[in-house]
Amino acid sequence: MATGTGLDAQLGFASESTWGTPVTVTRFLEFNSEATQFNPSFLEPTGLRPGVYFKRANRVQVAKSDVTGDIEVEHATKGMGLLWHHALASATTTTTVITGTAFKQIHTPGGFNGLGFTTQLGRPEPGGTVRPFTYAGCKVTGWEFSVKEQAIPSLKLTIDAKSESTSTALATASYLSGATVFTFQQVANFKLGGTPTTSAGETTIGSGVAVATIVKDFTLTGKTPLATDRFGLGNAGLKAEQIGPNATPTITGKLSAEFSKTEFYDVYKANTTIPLQLDLQGGVIGATASNYLLSFILPAIKFKAAPPMVGGPDIVQMSVDFEAYSNEIDPVIQVKIQSDEATVV
């Protein structure tokens, strides 16, 4: 039964074979919110005419348009590979069998040129009709993963798209069976230090040390600058493909913790480069010995700020900022997913 509210909204994605050519969305995810909008650029009349003091409506034209905005989803135990594929421009489009019905997928930064996806949002009107908005030529220019105390981990994508259509039919949503979400209590592995090694396309950290300090939240943010303003003659006011990066990409992070001189402040003060690993581990996959897993490995980070501050009689807290760098051997970031899902895109 239709409610005429956001409870009836839906969100779907699909990778495009050719950037900018829309395809029918096939991957549907539950989502928290979206703020995606069509942006026309108006040309306002400036011509002078006796007796007319206001701008004339019939001379206002649209010169160009595009689509930008954010979409936030709770990070599920499966179905998320397509988003990480586009967030990092990873070359991974297929999974690898671990054993039985357990599969893994490894996402590392790759090339954005030629990569694109279609997004469709179903937005309900109060009368109960769900209106489809279909965006073609989407690319991810920024993303943010966040895990906090008393919160479900989330992934927010900042999207830049070529076009919007409201005439494409609303796709019938279908969701992956058995998909749940990770939780704060499933952070099973949070380590600093150790030695990174990449073999057969997968990075691991040897001899890392589990963080002993109480950490209440962790946020990881990626920004990929792309040339998003490629409008030209003959393109009917639509942009050409966003190419790049056209400036240095960044991956930064922030965590809130109780004061620890040894684990955080001394490392910050010494400008030490260390690996970081954060794993969220879910339940066992079927009859296998493998678990649902979301793993982040950053082989070379530096703490950029780590000020401990006394704010009163309570436990002294510190806010730690860090940035990921290239060690010229391993990927700057690796996102690994284990699930019973045999496909990525």
According to the model, what pLDDT value does residue 1 have?
Answer: 79
According to the model, what pLDDT value does residue 345 have?
Answer: 85
> β-strands 33-43, 274-284: how paired?
unpaired
Closest of 258, 252, 254 to residue 211, by C-alpha: 258
> Quick check: helix, strand or coil at residue 268?
helix
Angstrom distances, CA of residue 28 to CA of 111, 120, 204, 218: 25, 9, 31, 26
pTM of this prediction?
0.96
Residues (pLDDT < 50) of the chain are none
Closest of 15, 28, 11, 81 to residue 339, by C-alpha: 81
**Residue 66, token pair as written in the block:** 């595009």
**Residue 155, token pair as written in the block:** 């992934």
- Considering only the C-alpha atoms of the chain, give the largest distance between any 2 of them, rounded to a whole number of Å: 82
To the nearest whole number, what is the mean pLDDT of the chain?
97
> Quick check: helix, strand or coil at residue 256?
strand
According to the model, what pLDDT value does residue 108 have?
Answer: 98
> Quick check: helix, strand or coil at residue 86?
helix
d(CA 275, CA 2): 49
